[in-house]
Amino acid sequence: MRLSKRINALHIAGIVFIIIFLVNLSGLDLSAQEKDCSKSLAPYVPSPYEIVEKMLELAEVSEKDIVYDLGCGDGRIVIMAAEKFGARGIGVDYDPERVEEARANVKEKGLEDKVKIILRDAMTVDVSPATVVTLYLLESSNVLLKPNLEKYLKPGSRVVSHEFDMPGWKAKKVINDDGDDCYGYSIYLWVMGEHKEESK
């Protein structure tokens, strides 16, 4: 009797362990179902589609690429990367509401085989599979992400930022649009391996 109780407890512990392991493996962090505002790298403001397209064109995204959008909002960048440029995409957002919305948008487009949306703090993501990383955060957040980008990205990978520069990096190209009558914007492109500013 005592033995069977012990076996049952062990079984339950084993099952719980396997569930936690599988959940972690899937990138779904159940402990983060509520948005933790202390982790905010930027508020939610979607990039206009016209700018998303320009970002992906500037990075010369193609079907060979894996595009990571750190702070993906409604998933529009990774969705366009897959739909229009043939790439695969990973969108990362720490806000469960955005993740739910982005996943619904991916499903609506039938892109589940090409685009995955992950609920996670962008600061903790291993971006080593990425060939392109897109950002629309803040300059101070770009600075926080810089060590991870330098640690994980392979030479030749591209980083594109809507609006915000990366202090200490030398952009390969910058688009500046003054927006005569409405929305002015900048887009920065860096290529890993060529991104370091020469020391004076």
Binding site for ligand SAM (CB under 6 A): 39-42, 44-47, 69, 71-73, 76-77, 92-95, 98, 121-123, 136-137, 162
Which residue, judged by CB position, is nearest to ligand SAM in the bound state? 71
Q: How far is the CB of 157 from ligand SAM (least distance, A)?
A: 18
Count of CB atoms situated within 10 Å of the CB of 70: 29
Choose between 73 and 89: whose C-beta lies nearer to ligand SAM.
73
Q: Which is nearer to ligand SAM, 111 or 137 (CB)?
A: 137
Closest approach of Cβ 176 to ligand SAM, in Å?
A: 18
Nearer to ligand SAM, 100 or 121 (CB): 121
State in angstroms the smallest separation of the CB of 12 from ligand SAM: 34
